[in-house]
Each structure stands twice: as C-alpha cells, then as structure tokens.
Amino acid sequence: MSEIDPITLSVLAGRMEQIADEMDATLFRAAFNPIIAEAHDASHGLYHAETGDTLVQGKSGLPIFVGVMSFAVKAVIEKVTADGDLADGDIFIFNDAHIGGTHLSDMRLVRPYFREGKLFCWLASVGHWHDVGGAVPGNYNPAATEVFQEAFVLPPVRLARAGVVNQDIIDILLRNTRLPQSAQGDLNGQLGALALGVRRMDELLDEYGAGTVDAALDALGIRAERLMRSELEAIPDGRWEAEDFLDNDGIADTPLPLRVALEIKGDRMHLDFTGSAPKCAGPVNIALPTTIATVYVAIKHIFPLLPANAGVMRPIEVTVPEGSILSAEFPAPTGGYTETILRMIDVVFCAFAQAVPDRVVANAYGTINALSIAGRRSNGKPWVMFSFYGGGHGGSPEGDGLNHGNAPISTATIPPLEILEAAYPVMFRQWALRRDSAGAGRHRGGLGAVYEIEVLEENGAEGFLFGERGRFAPKGVAGGQEGALNVFTYQQGAEWPHPPLVSKMRGIRLKQGEAVRLETPGGGGYGPPAERDPTAVALDVARDYLSEAEADRLYGPTWREGMR
C-alpha cells in the first residue's frame, strides 16, 4: 500500500464523493417514477474490490442505503467467486432482500470497475421501483406471509456480460411489473448512472493514477475507523439496555419486542439485540443486512460527521440471534421493513441516551404510515393514491423537535395536497398540526399531523394502511416524556371506527363523502418537563400546540407565570 499525503487525500475524498453525488443526480433526473425522482429513494457509491465494503457514497441518496449497499456488492462478489468468471462490462441486477437488505422494491445494479485489466473497485446503484409484481400494486402487502406475495424475486444475475446487455433479463423484468414503462425508465436511469460513474472514475484515475486513488481509498477507511474510535473513546465505559415494541405484524395481534444492550469498552462498541422477537408471520421481518445497515444509520444520526465508509463499522460488533425478526430468512416477508428499522433506531437512541444524554435526540414519530386509497372511476379506470405521512421529531439537547418532519431513514418530501387532489378523486378536509401530540420535556418533541381525506368518487374507494405506534408511543429521553400515539379512524356513515389491529388494516370500504383520518405521533421530549421554560409552555398554549388542560397536566400550573 502506498502512502498518501493528507492534502491529496482531502482533495480526493471530495472528488470521489462528487462522483457518487453525480450518479445520484443522474438517476433522479432520468427516473420515471416519483419515488426515485421526487423522494430520492435511491443511492450510489463505490465499493471495495475484494470485500465489497463501502468506500464512498453519495450524499443525496436515502440514508438507509448508506449502510445496506455494500451487502449487494458482497452478494455479487460471492456469486462471481462461485462462478469463477468476471469481465469488464459485466453488470449484475437483483432485488432479493434476504441477500441485499431492505425490501424487494429496491432494484440493485452492481458493476465492476476495471483499470488496466484489473478489478479496481465496484460501482453500485439502487433505486425503489414503482412496482415489482406481487399481490398488491406498489408491493406494500400488509397480509403477506411469504416474499412471493410481495413481489417477484430476482437473485443476482448478469444483466450484461462484457458490455453486451442480455435482453432476455429485461424481458422477464418487464413482464413481471404492472408498470413496465416506469420500470424501463428507471432501469435506463440506473444504467446511465453506472456508465457515468465509470467515465468519471476513468478521468479521476487518469489525473491521479491508480496507485494514489487506491491509497486514498485505504486511507479513507482508516480515517473513518479512527473517527468512530475517537467518538467511542469519549463515551464512558458501561452497559445500557433499552426496549420497545411493534404493535403487531399485521397478522396476529401480538406486540413484538425489540431489545438492545449497548456496551462500550474503550474505543469499541457492542450492540446485542438478543431478546428481540422471533421471526414473525407478517411482513415486519428484516434480513440481517438490513439490521447492520440500520445500526449504521442510528450511529450516524448520533455522530453526524462520520463518513459513509465501512471503516466506521470496524470497532462495532453487532449480535443478532438466529431466527430473530432481525435476521429473517428466506422466504419470510420483509415488505414492512421500514417500521422495524425505525423501531431499531429508537431503541439504539434510547440506549445511547443513557450513556451520552447530551448527544442524543428523543424518538421521532416512528412510522411511515403507508396509506393507500384506491378505486375505479365512473369510466372504469383504476386509480391508486399511495403516500407516506409525516410526524414530529424528537426534542434534542439543543431545542424542540421539528414539527411534521420526515422519517430518520429517509429524506423524502410529501407530495403537495393539490397535486394529490388533481390526480385522484379525493379532498383533504384537514392537513394540519396535531394539538397535544408533542412529548413533554425541557425541549418538547415536534408536533405530529392530522390528515383527513374525503373520497369524492361516486363509486367510493377502498383503503389500506400500514403503520405502527398505535399502542407504543415514541419515547422521550433524558427525562422527557412520550409523544402521542398514532391514531387511525375511518368514516362509516356516522361512525368513526378504529382498525382491530390499530395501525394496520386492509379492505376499508369508503363511500363517496366518507373519509379516513390519520393522526400521527409527535416526537418524544428531551429532559424533564419541569425544566421547561414557562414562557415556552405559555407560547405553546397561545399557539394552540398545547391545550391548557394538557399544559397543567404535563408541566404543572406554574407555566401560567410564563404568560405575557
């Protein structure tokens, strides 16, 4: 390994990050489906030639992919090692979540990058396709008990061999989606991003030489590890535990525990998820790669300056028991993985909050609330409105949580209600902040939201919801209190029933003029409520974030001294 000076390293780090960013931007522009184009549910990066470890990843991609992409590359490395052949211009494609993490909607493309006949590194692209077959359009099937009910499953296969694309594979893909045009557009975009990555790497290596770039990649790994170790060293040694629960798996109404023990010793860390629920029937299982990637996401939220580099994980040991909800094996369904990883992040935060309370924010709203309303118009054409909804962020050592934020695993924005109303026969009666939803604390949580959506179509519609936090509220830390629970109701004439499984339901029949109402959780509070500045409480009451009765209950009557 050749040495590299720190200045060239700094310059090269910026250059390589820009390559990954540019791959992201290329796909965002070209993608057909809004999940990639608007919500940026995609990611790109550079991976180690032999190990598949993450070397550099784009800044604009989805946070959860930062940890998970290297598993896609590792899977391809395993395949080519077994096959015993790999050529410049090969491109691999797959969506198998048990190998590559997350869920089947995420299509992964992996391409070797060769320099002078030798494998230099890997490039990879992942993007959330609009539809990949299965029982439910969009692939969020709350009743799935096997992956086959969620989507078609593609193991790592060669999409191109030595630069020649195999049209057979594309034909199979396009025959297995409800939206072939969209899939073709996204595939073209991902191929374009990889081709761009190859061009940019060529330019970079022409300019700096393969030896220097290789040395820089090694040095970046060492630097990432050093950064992580120095953060861990600053934390006192000890062991801290935390637990939380998922409402249910969408099949049986049983809470599912997630437990973690955090142990810090010197500059090392151990996260032990022993005691978490065993594999369940419904789609809230996650595969081991997803679990590891989620640890990374949680750690990077606590230490935001850590780079997207596998070196970060070297001082971290993760224990996941076999047969657990966190190490589900094929063909367990994983479509609802978002809910499980959000809860994992919550328990990791709660464990760290005991170790370093001044570094950790309270739990955010903790559910993506995938809500679908669908039906047929009077002319017979089908329509499906599918979206995720926001909630409050946790209070932090620095201040109150953000009102109506996005999920920690995502940076996706919500579509404007006018775009939804223009596209689908619905009307939002309400799109507002939810009073009394914030967890109390020295710094309170952010407020959740209320969305009430009326069906305008005379044929009515059918709804389904995949949510969480209906029974277990987002927790506060450092003495802060819980945010409000997720509450979903739907209108049936004069009645507003709740789903039997609280946060998950399908087959909700809605007549014209009836509505669904989603009240999302606020974030947990940070620090004891008694330490909240009375003028801040009074302001919350004046703004109607908080009712007087709740203010009295949570903060005691002294808040009135803060009234102006």
Partner 1 sequence: MSGKMIGVDVGGTFTDIFVLDESDGTARVGKVPTSRPDQSTGFLQGITEAVADIGSVGVVVHGTTAGTNALLERKGARTGVICTQGLRDVLEMRRRDRPRTWGLRGDFEPVVDRRDRLEVPERTLADGTIRTPVDLDAVRRAARQLQDQGCIAVAILFANAYANPANEAAAVAALRQIWPNEHVSASSEILPEIREYERFSTTALNAYLQPEVSGYLGRLGAALDKGGFGGEFMIVQSNGGVMDVDTACRFPIRTALSGPAAGVIAAGYIARSAGFDNVITGDMGGTSFDVSLIAEGRSMLAPQTSIDFGMVVRTPMIEITTIGAGGGSIAWVDKGGLLNIGPESAGSDPGPVAYGLGNDRPTVTDANVVLGRIDPENPIGGKLARLDVQAATRAIDIHVGQPLGLDTLAAAEAILRVANSRMAGALRLVSIERGFDPKKFAFMPFGGGGALHAGAMLAEVGIARAIVPRYPGVTSALGCVIADMRQDFVQTLNAMLDGLDTEMLGAVMQDHHDRGMAMLKAAGTRFEARDATFALDMAYIGQTHTVSVPIPAQVSAGKVHSPTQAQIAAAFDNVYRDTFGRLLPGGVRRILNLRSAVTGKRPKFDLATLAPTVTDPARPKSTRKVHFGTDWHETAIYDRLTLPVGTVITGPAILEQPDTTVLIEPGLVGRVDPLGNVILETGPEAGA
Q: Which parts of 178-197 interact with partner 1 (CB under 8 A)?
A: 179, 181-182, 185
Looking at 103, 393, 469, 506, which residue binds partner 1 (CB under 8 A)? 393
Instruction: Tell whether residue 507 is a contact of partner 1 (CB under 8 A).
Output: no
Looking at 375, 401, 463, 562, which residue binds partner 1 (CB under 8 A)? 401
Minimum CB distance to partner 1, residue 411 (Å): 5
Minimum CB distance to partner 1, residue 154 (Å): 23
Contact 113, 198 (CB under 8 A): yes
Residue 234: other Cβ atoms inside 10 A: 11
Q: Which helix (H) or strand (E) holds 131?
A: none
Residue 286: other Cβ atoms inside 10 A: 30
Nearer to partner 1, 299 or 332 (CB): 299
Contact 118, 193 (CB under 8 A): no
Tokens representing 217? 């990649």
Nearer to partner 1, 110 or 299 (CB): 299
**Count of positions on this chain that bind partner 1 (CB under 8 A):** 78
Contact 246, 284 (CB under 8 A): yes
Nearer to partner 1, 51 or 430 (CB): 430
- The length of the chain is 564
Q: Taking CB under 8 A as the rule, which mask of x and - marks residues 202-221 in contact with partner 1?
A: --------------------
DSSP string, 376-444: E-TTS-EEEEEE---BPPPP-SSSPPPSSB--TT--PPPPPHHHHHHHSSEEEEEEEE-TT-SPPSSBP
DSSP string, 534-560: HHHHHHHHHTTSS-HHHHHHHH-GGGG
Minimum CB distance to partner 1, residue 473 (Å): 17
Hey, which residues does 157 pair with through a beta bridge?
A: 93
Instruction: Tell whether residue 480 is a contact of partner 1 (CB under 8 A).
Output: no
Instruction: Tell whether residue 357 is a contact of partner 1 (CB under 8 A).
Output: no
Q: Taking CB under 8 A as the rule, which mask of x and - marks residues 22-61 in contact with partner 1?
A: x--x---xx-xxx--xx--------------------x--
Distances (CA, A) of 314 to 8, 227, 442: 24, 11, 36
Angle at 290 between CA 372 and CA 232, to 5 degrees: 125
Pick the stretch among 15-23, 97-105, 350-358, 556-564 that binds partner 1 (CB under 8 A).
15-23
Instruction: Tell whether residue 15 is a contact of partner 1 (CB under 8 A).
Output: yes
Looking at 76, 126, 364, 455, which residue binds partner 1 (CB under 8 A)? 364
Q: Give the residue carrying structure tokens 């028991």.
A: 321
Minimum CB distance to partner 1, residue 242 (Å): 17
Minimum CB distance to partner 1, residue 509 (Å): 23
Minimum CB distance to partner 1, residue 43 (Å): 12
How distant is the alpha carbon of residue 19 from its chain centre? 23
What letter would DSSP give residue 2?
-
What letter would DSSP give residue 524?
P
Hey, which residues does 44 pair with through a beta bridge?
A: 125
Tokens representing 328? 């589900």
Pick the stretch among 141-149, 158-166, 297-305, 315-323 that binds partner 1 (CB under 8 A).
297-305
Nearer to partner 1, 394 or 470 (CB): 394
Pick the stretch among 72-80, 166-174, 225-233, 479-487 that binds partner 1 (CB under 8 A).
225-233
Minimum CB distance to partner 1, residue 406 (Å): 5
Nearer to partner 1, 9 or 107 (CB): 9
Minimum CB distance to partner 1, residue 41 (Å): 12
Tokens representing 129? 């396709």
DSSP string, 135-146: SSTTS--TT-SS
- The residue type found at 236 is P
Angstrom distance (rounded) from CA 48 to CA 77: 10
What letter would DSSP give residue 49?
T
Nearer to partner 1, 110 or 538 (CB): 538
Angle at 297 between CA 91 and CA 302, to 5 degrees: 150
Looking at 408, 467, 525, 529, which residue binds partner 1 (CB under 8 A)? 408
Instruction: Tell whether residue 542 is a contact of partner 1 (CB under 8 A).
Output: yes
Contact 416, 404 (CB under 8 A): no
Tell me the pairing of strands 268-272 and 316-319.
parallel
Nearer to partner 1, 107 or 345 (CB): 345
Instruction: Tell whether residue 128 is a contact of partner 1 (CB under 8 A).
Output: no
Minimum CB distance to partner 1, residue 299 (Å): 10
Nearer to partner 1, 260 or 361 (CB): 361
Instruction: Tell whether residue 269 is a contact of partner 1 (CB under 8 A).
Output: no
Tokens representing 16? 């390589």
Residue whose C-alpha is closest to residue 445's, from 362, 360, 352, 537: 362
Contact 453, 505 (CB under 8 A): no
Nearer to partner 1, 74 or 442 (CB): 442
Widest CA span of the chain, in angstroms? 76
Q: Taking CB under 8 A as the rule, which mask of x and - marks residues 423-462 in contact with partner 1?
A: ----xxxxxxx------------x--x--x---x------
Residue whose C-alpha is closest to residue 444's, from 549, 529, 318: 529
Looking at 78, 206, 230, 458, which residue binds partner 1 (CB under 8 A)? 230
Q: Taking CB under 8 A as the rule, which mask of x and - marks residues 270-289 in contact with partner 1?
A: --------------------
Pick the stretch among 137-145, 259-267, 283-291, 400-408 that binds partner 1 (CB under 8 A).
400-408
Nearer to partner 1, 148 or 303 (CB): 303
Looking at 105, 190, 403, 481, which residue binds partner 1 (CB under 8 A)? 403
Looking at 300, 343, 506, 532, which residue binds partner 1 (CB under 8 A)? 300
Helical pair 180-208 and 167-175, crossing angle rounded to 10 deg: 140
Angstrom distance (rounded) from CA 359 to CA 231: 11
Instruction: Tell whether residue 241 is a contact of partner 1 (CB under 8 A).
Output: no
